[in-house]
């Protein structure tokens, strides 16, 4: 499904509200002045409040499971506005709240 490409400055949140940040954006391609993000590299999650003593653990990383089917950067699918990820260690997803709105992919 077509959507806007994710870039390094996109706002990505775990479902509990923790901020996810790209760990390895691609250094060769930029959109709106920021590096694009591919499916290969996970996002690091900070500030996830999902924690109770002896219970659930907060989100630490988000590994992407879907990306673009027709747009590759460095041989890897770029992430799109509708890409899906799974957070570890608890298996929840992410929400892509804000991204650039100039370049679309599929």
User: Which residue would you say has higher pLDDT here, 49 or 2?
Assistant: 49
Alpha carbons 63 and 85: distance in angstroms, whole number: 5
The fold for domain 3-105 equals Tumour Suppressor Smad4 (2.60.200)
The DSSP result for 31-75, as a single string, is: ETTEEB-BTTSPEEEE------TTS-----EEEE----SS-EETT
pTM given for the model: 0.91
pLDDT value at 76 more than 80: yes
Domains of the chain by residue range: 3-105
pLDDT of the residue at 13: 97
pLDDT 10s digits, 23-52: 999 999 999 999 999 999 899 999 999 877
């Amino acid at each position: 499904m077509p959507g806007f490409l994710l870039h390094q400055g996109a706002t990505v949140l775990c479902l509990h509200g923790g901020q996810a940040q790209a760990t390895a954006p691609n250094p060769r391609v930029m959109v709106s002045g920021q590096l694009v993000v591919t499916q290969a590299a996970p996002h690091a999650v900070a500030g996830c409040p999902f924690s109770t003593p002896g219970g659930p653990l907060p989100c630490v990383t988000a590994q992407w499971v879907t990306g673009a089917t027709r747009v590759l950067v460095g041989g890897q699918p770029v992430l799109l506005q509708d890409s899906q990820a799974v957070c570890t260690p608890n298996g929840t997803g992410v929400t892509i709240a804000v991204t650039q709105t100039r370049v679309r992919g599929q």
